Each structure stands twice: as C-alpha cells, then as structure tokens.
Amino acid sequence: MVDFLALFVGLGLTWAFGAALIGALYRVAQPGDVIPGAWLVGCGWFVGAFATTLVMRALSSTGIAFGVASVGMPVLVLTLAAAWIAIRGRGPETWLAMRRFFGALPGGGLQGWQRTVWIVVVAWLALRFALLFAEVWWRPLYPWDAWTQWGTKARVWFEMRSMVPFASAGEWFAAPPEARLWYDAAPHYPGTMPLLQVWSALLVGRWDDALANLPWWVTGVAFTVALYGGLLLLGFRRLPALLGATVVLTLPIVNVHVALAGYADLPIACYLTLGTIAGVQAIRTRGVATAVLAVVLLAAMVLVKNPGKAWLLTLVPTFIAAALPRYGVRIAAAVLGLSIFALLVVTRLGVTILGYQFTNKFALPWDALFDAYFSFANWNLLWYAALAALVIGRRQLFSADVAPYTLAVASGLLFLFIGFAFTNAGAWVEDQSTTNRATLHVAPLVVVWMLVVAQAWFRNARPPSQTVAPET
C-alpha cells in the first residue's frame, strides 16, 4: 500500500508540475487572461509528464543516476517556483478559473434536465475510469509492441538508472563490448514514454510492469478533462463540451489503449489534438501563452513517437488557414496539393522514411479499411457520424471558424491513406494490426472537427438575437 500511495503522490506531483508551469506561463505572458480551469488542469498532466522526462534526460546526460530524490526534488522545486510565479501578486483570475472547474464537477450552475444529464455523465465517467483503473492495475505488460519496443527501454533504464543507448541488431553486433549497447525491436524510438514508466517504477521502488503503466490511465483521465476545457476554449457551453469529451472516451479503441497500456498511440493522439486546439486558438487570439503551450504540446508529440514528425507537418495547412482567414484556405490547399505531389514523387524513388518503405504501386486495401472503420466495433459510429457531418455541414466546412479543423482532418486522413496505399503499412492494414492504432492518432481531432462543424451549423441556423456567450 505504501508503494501504491508513493506512486500516486509522484504522478500527482508530475501533474501539479505541469499545471504550475501553465499557470506561470499565463501569468507572465497573458496576465489577467482567464482560461477554463479544465484546460489548465487537463493540459497540466501532458506538460508535466513531458517536462518530467526532460528532467530525467538532463540527469542522464550529466551522469546522475535516476532515483526518487534525484528526479523528484528538481520537479518539486520547479513546481513550487512555477506555482509562486503563477500566484505572486496576481488578481483572482487563476483561482476563479480553478473554482469554476471544481465547482462545475457536481454540475454547479446548471439547472433542471441539464444538471441531471451532467451528473449522470460525470458519474458514468467516474465508473468507467474506475473499471479502466482495475484493468491497468491487474494486468501485466501485455500488448506486443509494448514489451518489444517500449517496455524494454523502460526496464533496462530502470535497472541501469540511466538512459543507456539502444541500437539496431547490426549496430549491436558491430559494436565493441565496452560500448554497452542494448537492443530491442525499435531502438531509435523516442524515450519519452519509457521514461514515464521508469519514473513510475522508481516511485514504486521496484519494477512492476503493471503499476509502471499507470501513466496511461492518468493520460485518459487528463485527456477527458483537457478536451472538455479545450471545447470550452472554442466557445462551447459546459454540457455540450462534456458530451463531446465523453464521445472521445466512448470510442472502444481509446478504452483499449488505456486498459492495454504501454503503446504510444494514445499519448500522440492527445498531444496532436490539444496542440492543434492550442495552436489555432493562439493564432486567432494572438495569445503568447497559448502559443507557447501549443509549441510545447507539439514538441512533445514529436518526442513521443517518430510519426509525430509527420503529424506535425500535416498541421501546416491548418495553421495557415487560421492565420490568414481570407486567403488561407487557398494557400493551404495549394500547400496540401504540393505535399501530395511531393509524396507521389517519393513513391517513385523507393525510399524509406520513418521506417516505412515507399513503393510506386498503389495498393490501398479498401475492404480491410471498410471493415475497420464501418464494420468492426473499434469506432462505434464515429465514421458514419463524420460522413453525416460532412454532408450536413458542407456549407460551413471552409468558413473561418471551421476551415483549420477541416484541413487538419483532411491532411491527417490523406497522410494515413497515402501511407496505407504506397508503403509497406498496407500489409499491416490487411491483417488489422496497424489501421486502428494509426487512425487513433487523428480520431479525437475528427470528433473536435465534427463538433466545430455542428457549432457553425447551429450558429448559422440560429437567429442573431438567440446567440449566446461561451462559458468558461
């Protein structure tokens, strides 16, 4: 029980670390600006988790062994310093945001049927996360890639108390013994997620491949809170924002990646979605703090998994459209077209990028994709709903508010389909081993896009006198 409490305290410190950093960031860069408390709290975990791994990287590079004190003390000191900056001499805006967040949990401020729906949904979420917690706590490291590509690094780095280098089989055989290289199935994958597992194991005091995966459960909880806050940031009222975040959680594949912890696909989906929301919002409001937050979230995405580099490039049209409301869509469409042309040229060269071998043979496995998206049970009715949003909201797709998200989804899906059609990933689509994991990266963003389309459609249909102000 002691080690279990230590794990929760340590992960709570990581979460508080990120929340304090965000609070300090908004205090310095945007003093007086009130943001949704859920946005600060939810994004706090993602910033804190990434920042904690940066501390661990710094320790490893300077030769300081990993330990609860060596990792925890710098994090604690930085948390206290950031919290002091966040609250020093400031007005009530941060506390107001936090009070609104915690006061909203039992449905405060809502009346009648809306309050009833709110309480039912929050209770259902609490029950669902309790069941997912049991899954993570009781199940040892199970998924294939989790223990051949990620958990291997975590176990070795925990035992060695340092980020000892991993290498490919050829590099390992060719290296002299004194090089002390280690080998696994993906030696050049980033170390962010394994470092979080190392931090969990340090807190427990031993290697426990079930408890080391608790950050995935925390990621699920934090993503629900952050997405709710992000939707508030986009102008949604509280109940629709909660229902929108719940839609993401109800996707079976999201639940699977919480329960069967150890993959990097859920974290990369979280960073991509939150980084996109923050980036678009920063461009629209010229908010420096939100822009810095977006940069941090997207940088973390790149250091979570190698495809994060490609996902970052897919956001270029999005940010162009957000920055240039009048001509941005045309420029972004031109950039997207040139990118597709460049990728088609790459297919003629037969090169390998990020481990994917390009070929000039078009071989999109249509049947397997249809089964994955429309027949099997991994997505509920997500893709049917996306098609409905495409038809119903077709007139709003490229309006100023919707265009960045339309381009984000279009770029993301094009990236997936080109990868499925022109690389060796097509074989993994056929056996359903990659389709859903790769699509998970962009799926929460598809939900956000559908909600933004619906918001624009209702706003367009509502008489001006019925327009309502957003809630925070």
Cα separation values, 447 from 89, 205, 249, 264, 405, Å:
39, 40, 11, 20, 10
SS3 call for 259: helix
Taking the C-alpha atoms of residue 22 and residue 8, their distance in angstroms, rounded to an integer, is 21
pLDDT number for residue 91: 46
Q: What stretches of 83-233 adopt beta strand conformation (E)?
A: 166-167, 182-183
How many whole angstroms separate alpha carbon 236 and alpha carbon 346? 42
Identify the CA nearest to 125 among candidates 262, 248, 257: 248
The sign one gets for the Cα dihedral 424, 425, 430, 434 is positive
Torsion of the alpha carbons at 208, 215, 141 and 261, rounded to the nearest 10: 170
- Tokens at residue 463, please? 């008489």
* Cα distance between residue 151 and residue 222, in whole Å: 22
- DSSP one-letter code for 353: E
Q: Please give the distance of CA 359 from its chain centroid, rounded to a whole number.
A: 30
Q: What's the CA angle centered on 42, arms 214 and 440, to 5 degrees?
A: 65
Q: Confirm if 234 and 277 have CB atoms less than 8 A apart.
A: yes
Helix (H, G, I), strand (E, B) or coil at 347: helix
Tokens of 101: 């967040």
SS3 content of the chain, % helix, strand, coil (to 5): 75, 0, 25
pLDDT at residue 367, as a whole number? 86
> Tens digit of pLDDT per residue, the chain (472 long)?
667 889 999 999 999 999 999 999 988 887 767 788 899 999 999 999 999 999 999 999 999 999 999 999 999 999 999 999 888 755 455 566 666 676 666 666 778 889 999 999 999 999 999 999 999 999 888 888 898 889 999 999 999 999 999 998 888 888 887 778 898 988 989 999 999 999 999 999 999 989 999 999 999 999 999 999 999 999 999 999 999 999 999 999 999 999 999 999 999 999 999 999 999 999 999 889 999 999 999 999 999 999 999 999 999 999 999 998 888 888 988 888 888 888 777 777 767 776 677 777 777 788 888 998 999 989 999 999 999 999 999 889 999 899 999 999 999 999 898 888 877 776 777 777 788 999 999 999 999 999 999 999 988 776 655 545 556 5
Instruction: Judge residue 172's burial from the number of C-beta atoms within 10 Å of its C-beta, 0-12 exposed, 13-18 middle, 19 or more buried.
Output: middle
Q: Return the number of other C-beta atoms located less than 10 Å from residue 19's C-beta.
A: 24
Contact of 453 with 397, CB cutoff 8 Å: yes
Determine the pLDDT at residue 88.
Answer: 77
Any idea what DSSP says for residue 305?
Answer: -
Angle between helices 238-250 and 112-138 (to 10 degrees): 30
Q: Could you tell me the two tokens for 116? A: 């009833």
Full-model pTM: 0.93
Residue 371 is classified by DSSP as: I
How far apart, in whole angstroms, are the C-alpha atoms of residue 329 and residue 335? 10
Containing 309, the helix (H) or strand (E) segment is helix 308-314
Give the SS3 label for residue 189. Answer: coil
Q: Which residues of 26-55 are buried (b: 16+ CB within 10 A; e: fewer)?
A: bbeebeebebbbbbbbbbbbbbbbbbbbeb
